[in-house]
Chain A
């Protein structure tokens, strides 16, 4: 045990770890927002609610039919993603011709509905979800104790984030996606089914949020309002990073999580607000965002 700037190392690294965990969720969610925004030109306000749906899906799968964490990690995002596809087909697709803001208002309404329904059924108190057996316990790294589950969350979200980046930036499918973002009419003229791509993109973005929700379930309790406070921070993350770049969203997400964690150690009063303060500073210095391109 040693001290850094008068702070015991275990406390410092502990908060750093929490920061990385939060950063994983920021990264996954802002990545989903960026992917959806790129294709649909809609800011998905329901993203937080869909993250919460992912956590609830995991809880209910276990509670109703005994499906455990590992299967839930696959099944819950698929289920919630399917709900996303239905939302896109029935509601969102009619809004593309209109101002972007209507998409924001619609998804805000959806978020209210989803959250309200969850609160009616399960109350505001959190429901516990236990860490899967294979990831219980942890190891001592000498300078700190690292719970296995938390290490897994950071690793898994890094893999998913980088995988998404790879698919979008380095594969043929991704190049179709990027082309359709730039000019959907032209891409359609080449015989590519752009509306289907848009639908699946929304489903994928929503599934990412649900995936984050499943991973969050054992760390935070499963509760109806777990998404709404998070999504506002993620909006700030998106403003800081700019939505033009996939890698930008990932880096900003993890980076801000770490900064938030460090703030908790050195200046706990500001830990809730530090992301917003950084957002204000970035707006002053680089209004387009750190990775954004000026429109």
Chain B
């Protein structure tokens, strides 16, 4: 059968796997199986990030996202943010465990000194320790909340991300429960992002793999094209090159080139994860 292919219409969103696959947690649903010892992708230095920022400016990138692993394990993370905020808005996806008061104060300083917005996106996977900790690790619920409180005390308003492994998170009632939880912890302008589950990496063991029918065909594009997919406007940089999107970094066939210019071309939607983005309207952007 003919392979569906997605064109790159514009390069709006540039991701950096700046924490590699190295993490101080090993969440059971992690789509890149990040762990303290996973160096499938290593952390990126400022020197590695810089040429991509320069290339991105020439291509008119609109926003920058940083993920891992845990980005704040990377000693260059704040320096990378400082350089990025000179050219555009930045968002860091973090598990919140390294958000102590001093780091939050420094991040506030970075945010205040920048023309562009800085967002911290903190992951939590339950309404309480009983639902969160089996996914993210023992004692993490309280530690995440402490990180959130530290951000709020520093005057930063986080975005809280919950995956749908958390029962009912995407429902109206589930959202209300999270808003209530965040209000109890001093977040009076709550921002919540609910993310679909990708059946990749560690999640395959926890929740199972994709079923064979969950795959895109050219017919799925009829009447709407592929412009709703994030890969029509994003790329992901890791220490090993440029990948099509943040989801497929542990698939060698998701790699598109060495520089951004190499990746200004279309991509075959042959991965089963592509089905999730299409069927559930997923965007990893905030």
Query: A and B: real partners?
Result: no
Question: Could you list which residues of chain B lie within 8 angstroms of chain A, going by C-beta atoms?
Answer: none
Question: Could you list which residues of chain A lie within 8 angstroms of chain B, going by C-beta atoms?
Answer: none
